[in-house]
């Protein structure tokens, strides 16, 4: 079973996202910030991450940059989740190495469509 790491400082959002990805057939793991997520990724690399932009300790952009430096980090699908939709912010995230972008709030259909676009869900 493919594993999805959900990284968000909001416990509620992590729980909602976990339920969504589990309903799509993925194993869900949660992390409250990029630092915790990076440590978890070094132990067991996820197949996909849903990562919030703004978090304490380590934000989403820094996490993506650090993930991509890891030996298997370039193979992980990354979906950036944020409330901002400024073109400069989106470009910054693309430059950091994200694969897709989701606006908050999101629902199961949005997540499903992004996973389909990435080719990890039919």
Q: What is the CATH number of the domain that holds 33?
A: 3.40.50.2300
Dist CA 1 CA 29 (whole Å): 12
Helices and strands (H, E) in the chain, number of each type: 5, 5
For residue 99, being part of any structural domain is answered with yes
For residue 91, being part of any structural domain is answered with yes
For residue 42, being part of any structural domain is answered with yes
Mean pLDDT (the chain, rounded) = 93
Dist CA 79 CA 112 (whole Å): 12
pTM summary value: 0.93
The SS3 of residue 73 is helix
**What is the chain's Cα-based Rg?**
13
For residue 122, being part of any structural domain is answered with no
- Residue 84, pLDDT above cutoff 80: no
Dist CA 118 CA 76 (whole Å): 11
pLDDT of residue 95: 87
For residue 110, being part of any structural domain is answered with yes
Q: Which domain holds residue 103?
A: 3-117
Total number of domains in the chain? 1
Q: What is the pLDDT of residues 18-61, one digit of tens each?
A: 999 999 999 999 999 999 999 999 999 999 999 998 899 999 99
């Amino acid at each position: 079973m493919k594993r999805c790491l959900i990284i968000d400082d909001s416990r509620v959002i992590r729980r909602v996202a976990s339920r969504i990805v589990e309903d799509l057939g993925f194993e869900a793991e949660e992390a409250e910030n990029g630092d915790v997520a990076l440590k978890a990724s070094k132990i067991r690399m996820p197949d996909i991450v849903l990562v919030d932009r703004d978090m304490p300790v380590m934000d989403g952009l820094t996490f993506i940059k650090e993930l991509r430096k890891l030996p298997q980090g370039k193979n992980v699908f990354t979906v950036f989740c944020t409330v901002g939709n400024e073109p400069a912010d989106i470009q910054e995230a693309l430059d950091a190495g994200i694969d897709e972008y989701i606006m908050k709030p999101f629902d199961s259909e949005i997540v499903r469509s992004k996973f389909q676009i990435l080719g990890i869900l039919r």
